[in-house]
């Protein structure tokens, strides 16, 4: 009896170790009868003698456990791991569990293990003996943690069937959708030529990564990969093949003409009056463009890379930092800490303004050290200088040199802002109020609501989502476990005061508070309320007053101006300028073709994107008859990551904008246009 109790405890320990690392269990394709027969027949004969009418280990309670639970496995690194793979420290039981382990590992996974029962097996049973005494028999028994217990109202079989379908559809997607098709659709999304394509960008990037992982595996591990992965990614991604974007991917994979495939996709998702903003190129158009490139001798001009300091000639530099490595003395370390600390933007509101023309003419020529105060609003102005790989290749561009530039894509300033955007909220409003609760770390199923009272007294909230100047465009009523809930109010302000607060509409499970963001003037202000709300409670966050283009804010909760990392640099800090230059279309004393840009290249800025090699706006006129193909070609000729690069923040002289700069310790506001 003691021998069995020790053996059963080791089984429980094994299962606990498995579930500490894994959130799902699986079942292999083996019958309960085969499991039980293997277990019973593998005992050494001397330890499985007849006891009364049956053999010693032939127990109905244990038989039920082995039949129902013996096929359970985990999947670790795409390999099946049996619960019977442990040291029993018993000559009696070790042969049986070794045989079970071998049997289970020889089978393929059949299903995700689904159960609504926390306990499996029978801990013990009692037998009344003829002499009136009671004998206790111990049996297989385990308890499962809540994370593997199904709380679905559907039957266990129904849940298992649903999970099996997700796995099967995922595997068909990974095998039948060609990686080139995924790349093609991602390129169309990047070029904004696919209606509502941006809604699928993140899922397609994840699908592309899964394809790479799947195809790199040995064939005998691919099935296990799909079982394991399908339980982690959710149905939207595991069943992407069944969605409208999946139809497009399958059509392209099957060889359908891209124009026809996209038109079929649009008939599924687009309204009747939808018209494509950009046309799709055909293979014949590509061949014609290729012939033109060869004719003009531009084949060697296509490869692109990030420009380096050594690429730029001195006559095209407006300013070069002569003290790249600053050696501090005395209180140097404290000066460095002061420089690295986040500084409040309000500190510079009274900085003297200077036009960009005066800055270039009167300040730059005598400057020794320049630093730019990098702000969140500059995220979309981050720019990289792009050079030809083959420096002697002829220029394809309207100007004489082969250099171009690439601004950042649609960067998001904060995780909350990213979630709002993914939920369909407007994030580029002049005034934005967003709230978040029930994040990955704090489970809170309550229904918190974002509210705004407009200057004329109109109330924007779930009951009246559209006001006079703004609207509630994201409204979450039932948060999902493990997924952050957000709400968003986007406003085009008129003069007056906007009052923002959070209301607990329905208190449910959870004891955490909320976070909010208020964004205006290119700055994000964050507020934390760490306490749980009670039913009906209202928590004022802030009042924002707008007056002829200027914002002021009265805070009821303590805020922090957020600092974000953009291209390896922290916003809310001065960043050292290594180089100032015009955009290449104004180099070498050219009068310039197109807009002139002023670029502040920042020490340590590293573009974490893979920008296009070139854009149609740069190309010579004789190439524009093939503009559709070159738009795609520019996105195909991605610039590879390189830590040695000239990147920073850029401004067009024809657009309104400003930047705070520090020149030899004097702070000023440089105004463009």
pLDDT at 139: 81
Q: Same domain, yes or no, for 271 and 212? A: yes
Among 491, 526, 561, where does a domain finish?
561
* Whether this model's pTM surpasses 0.75: no
pLDDT tens by residue, 71-124? 999 999 999 999 999 998 888 889 999 999 999 999 999 999 999 888 887 777
Q: Same domain, yes or no, for 375 and 405? A: yes
In a domain, 463, yes or no: yes
pLDDT at 462: 94
Q: Around Cβ 397, how many Cβ atoms within 10 Å? A: 23
Q: Same domain, yes or no, for 27 and 137? A: yes
Q: Same domain, yes or no, for 9 and 135? A: yes
pLDDT at 253: 92
In a domain, 287, yes or no: no
Q: What DSSP state is assigned to residue 301?
A: G
Q: Same domain, yes or no, for 439 and 549? A: yes
Residue 56: exposed, middle, or buried by beta-carbon count in 10 A (0-12, 13-18, 19+)? middle
In a domain, 290, yes or no: no
* Cα 233 to Cα 239: distance, rounded to the nearest angstrom: 10
Q: Same domain, yes or no, for 132 and 15? A: yes
Q: Using only C-alpha atoms, what is the Rg of the chain? A: 33
pLDDT at 414: 61
Q: Same domain, yes or no, for 457 and 334? A: no
* Cα 637 to Cα 358: distance, rounded to the nearest angstrom: 39
Contact 380, 411 (CB under 8 A): yes
What are the tokens at 659? 């930047």
Residues of the chain falling short of pLDDT 50: 1, 51-52, 272-278, 282, 323-342, 410-413
pLDDT at 340: 44
Given strand 559-561, what is the order of strands in its sheet? 470-474, 485-491, 431-437, 514-520, 523-529, 559-561
In a domain, 288, yes or no: no
Q: Same domain, yes or no, for 167 and 101? A: no
Domain total for the chain?
4
In a domain, 96, yes or no: yes
In a domain, 293, yes or no: no
Domain limits at 234? 156-280
404-407/319-320 β-pairing: unpaired
Q: How many helices (H) and strands (E) does the chain have?
A: 16, 34
Q: Same domain, yes or no, for 603 and 639? A: yes
In a domain, 289, yes or no: no
Among 148, 171, 203, where does a domain finish?
148
Contact 122, 61 (CB under 8 A): yes
pLDDT tens by residue, 457-471? 999 999 999 999 999
* Cα 103 to Cα 34: distance, rounded to the nearest angstrom: 9
DSSP 84-101: T-S----TTTHHHHHHHH
Q: Around Cβ 561, how many Cβ atoms within 10 Å? A: 17
Q: Same domain, yes or no, for 476 and 608? A: no
List CB contacts of 546: < 8 A, sequence separation 6 or more: 431, 493, 494, 495, 496, 498
Q: Same domain, yes or no, for 438 and 550? A: yes
Where does 270-382 have alpha helices with state H?
283-296, 332-340, 356-358
Cα atoms found within 13 Å of the Cα of residue 265, Cβ hemisphere only: 28
pLDDT at 102: 95
Among 121, 148, 175, where does a domain finish?
148
In a domain, 294, yes or no: no
Q: Around Cβ 517, how many Cβ atoms within 10 Å? A: 24
Q: Same domain, yes or no, for 553 and 518? A: yes
Domain containing 462 — which CATH number? 2.60.60.30
């Amino acid at each position: 009896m003691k021998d069995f109790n020790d053996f059963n405890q080791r089984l429980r320990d094994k299962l606990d170790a498995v579930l500490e690392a894994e959130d799902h269990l699986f079942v292999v394709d083996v019958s309960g009868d085969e499991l039980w027969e293997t277990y019973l027949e593998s005992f050494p004969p001397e330890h499985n003698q007849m006891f009364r009418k049956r053999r010693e280990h032939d127990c109905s309670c244990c038989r039920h456990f082995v039949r129902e639970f013996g096929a359970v496995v985990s999947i670790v690194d795409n390999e099946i791991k049996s619960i019977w793979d442990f040291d029993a420290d018993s000559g009696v039981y070790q042969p049986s569990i070794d045989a079970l382990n071998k049997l289970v590992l020889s089978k393929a996974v059949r299903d995700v293990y689904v159960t609504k029962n926390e306990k499996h097996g029978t801990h013990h049973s009692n037998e009344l003996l003829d002499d009136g005494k009671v004998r206790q028999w111990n049996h297989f028994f385990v308890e499962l943690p809540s994370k593997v217990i199904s709380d679905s109202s559907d039957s266990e079989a129904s849940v298992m069937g649903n999970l099996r379908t997700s796995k099967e559809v995922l595997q068909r997607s990974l095998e039948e959708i060609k990686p080139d098709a995924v790349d093609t659709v991602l390129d169309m999304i990047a070029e904004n030529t696919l209606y509502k394509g941006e809604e699928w960008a993140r899922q397609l990037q994840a699908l592309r990564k899964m394809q790479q992982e799947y195809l790199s595996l040995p064939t005998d591990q691919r099935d296990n990969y799909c079982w394991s992965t399908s339980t982690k990614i959710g149905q939207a991604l595991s069943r992407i093949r069944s969605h409208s974007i999946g139809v497009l991917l399958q059509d392209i994979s099957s060889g359908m003409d891209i124009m026809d495939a996209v038109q079929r996709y649009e008939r599924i998702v687009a309204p009747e009056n939808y018209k494509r903003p950009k046309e799709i190129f055909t293979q014949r158009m590509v061949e014609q463009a290729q012939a033109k490139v060869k004719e003009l001798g531009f084949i060697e001009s296509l490869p692109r890379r990030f420009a380096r300091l050594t690429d730029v000639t001195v006559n095209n530099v407006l300013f070069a930092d002569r003290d790249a490595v600053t050696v501090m003395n005395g209180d140097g370390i404290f000066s460095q800490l002061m420089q690295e600390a986040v500084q409040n933007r309000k500190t510079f509101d009274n900085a003297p303004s200077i036009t960009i023309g005066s800055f270039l003419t009167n300040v730059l020529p005598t400057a020794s050290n320049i630093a730019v105060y990098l702000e969140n609003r500059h995220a979309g102005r981050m720019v990289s200088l792009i050079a030809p790989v083959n420096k002697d290749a002829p220029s394809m561009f309207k100007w004489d040199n082969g250099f171009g530039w690439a601004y950042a894509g649609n960067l998001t300033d904060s995780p909350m802002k990213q979630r709002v955007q993914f939920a369909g909220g407007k994030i580029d409003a002049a005034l934005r109020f967003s709230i978040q609760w029930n994040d990955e770390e704090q489970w809170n199923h309550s229904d918190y609501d974002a509210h705004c009272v407009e200057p004329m007294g109109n109330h924007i909230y779930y009951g009246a989502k559209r006001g006079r100047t703004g609207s509630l465009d994201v409204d979450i009523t039932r948060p999902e476990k493990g997924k952050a809930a957000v709400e968003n109010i986007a406003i085009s302000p008129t003069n007056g005061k906007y009052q923002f607060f959070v209301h607990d509409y329905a208190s449910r499970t959870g004891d955490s508070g909320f976070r909010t963001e208020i964004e205006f003037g290119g700055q994000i202000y964050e507020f934390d309320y760490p306490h749980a709300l009670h039913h009906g409670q209202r928590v004022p966050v802030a009042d924002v007053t707008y007056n002829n283009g200027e914002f002021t804010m009265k805070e009821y909760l303590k805020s922090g101006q957020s600092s974000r990392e953009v291209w390896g640099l922290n916003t809310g800090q001065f960043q050292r300028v290594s180089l100032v230059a015009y955009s290449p279309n104004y180099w070498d004393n050219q009068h310039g073709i197109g807009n002139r840009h002023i670029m502040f290249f920042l020490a340590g800025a590293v573009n974490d994107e893979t920008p296009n090699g070139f854009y149609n706006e740069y190309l010579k006129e004789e190439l524009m008859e093939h503009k559709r193909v070159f738009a795609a070609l520019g996105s195909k000729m991605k610039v590879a990551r390189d830590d040695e690069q000239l990147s920073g923040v850029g401004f067009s002289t024809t657009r309104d904008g400003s930047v705070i700069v520090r020149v030899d310790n004097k702070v000023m506001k440089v105004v463009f246009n």
